[in-house]
Amino acid sequence: MENTPWETLFTSDIGLLSLFTIGFICVMAVYIFMFVRKNVLNAEAEQAHPVAKEAAHH
Protein backbone atom coordinates (compact mmCIF):
# COMPACT_ATOMS: atom_id res chain seq x y z
CA MET A 1 0.00 0.00 0.00
CA GLU A 2 1.36 3.37 -1.00
CA ASN A 3 1.26 6.16 1.52
CA THR A 4 0.56 9.14 -0.69
CA PRO A 5 0.06 12.64 0.68
CA TRP A 6 -3.65 12.41 -0.19
CA GLU A 7 -4.04 9.18 1.78
CA THR A 8 -2.23 10.72 4.73
CA LEU A 9 -4.41 13.82 4.57
CA PHE A 10 -7.69 11.87 4.63
CA THR A 11 -6.82 8.91 6.87
CA SER A 12 -4.32 9.92 9.56
CA ASP A 13 -5.22 11.89 12.69
CA ILE A 14 -2.84 14.74 11.90
CA GLY A 15 -4.05 14.80 8.29
CA LEU A 16 -7.67 15.14 9.37
CA LEU A 17 -6.71 17.87 11.84
CA SER A 18 -4.89 19.68 9.03
CA LEU A 19 -7.91 19.28 6.76
CA PHE A 20 -10.20 20.68 9.47
CA THR A 21 -7.83 23.62 10.00
CA ILE A 22 -7.70 24.42 6.28
CA GLY A 23 -11.49 24.25 6.05
CA PHE A 24 -11.95 26.42 9.14
CA ILE A 25 -9.60 29.08 7.78
CA CYS A 26 -11.47 29.13 4.45
CA VAL A 27 -14.84 29.52 6.21
CA MET A 28 -13.40 32.26 8.44
CA ALA A 29 -12.02 34.10 5.38
CA VAL A 30 -15.44 34.03 3.68
CA TYR A 31 -17.12 35.30 6.87
CA ILE A 32 -14.63 38.16 7.28
CA PHE A 33 -14.99 39.07 3.59
CA MET A 34 -18.80 39.21 3.85
CA PHE A 35 -18.67 41.15 7.14
CA VAL A 36 -16.27 43.77 5.76
CA ARG A 37 -18.20 44.03 2.48
CA LYS A 38 -21.48 44.62 4.33
CA ASN A 39 -19.95 47.31 6.53
CA VAL A 40 -18.23 49.05 3.62
CA LEU A 41 -21.50 49.15 1.67
CA ASN A 42 -23.30 50.55 4.73
CA ALA A 43 -20.61 53.20 5.22
CA GLU A 44 -20.80 54.20 1.55
CA ALA A 45 -24.59 54.45 1.76
CA GLU A 46 -24.31 56.69 4.84
CA GLN A 47 -21.79 58.94 3.07
CA ALA A 48 -24.02 59.19 0.02
CA HIS A 49 -27.08 60.24 2.09
CA PRO A 50 -25.86 61.98 5.26
CA VAL A 51 -29.02 64.15 5.48
CA ALA A 52 -31.28 61.14 5.87
CA LYS A 53 -29.19 59.89 8.79
CA GLU A 54 -29.31 63.25 10.57
CA ALA A 55 -33.06 63.57 10.00
CA ALA A 56 -33.62 60.16 11.57
CA HIS A 57 -31.89 61.27 14.78
CA HIS A 58 -34.13 64.32 15.26
**Model pLDDT for residues 1-58, shown as the tens digit of each residue:** 578 999 999 999 999 999 999 999 999 999 999 999 999 999 999 998 876 555 566 5
Distance of CA 30 to the CA centre of its chain: 2
pTM of the model: 0.70
pLDDT for the residue numbered 3: 83
Q: Where are the alpha helices (DSSP H) in 1-58?
A: 5-11, 13-48, 50-57
- The whole-angstrom separation of Cα 7 and Cα 55 is 62
Q: Which domain holds residue 42?
A: 5-57
Do 16 and 10 touch, CB atoms closer than 8 A? yes
- The whole-angstrom separation of Cα 41 and Cα 25 is 24
Look at the chain and report how many structural domains it folds into.
1
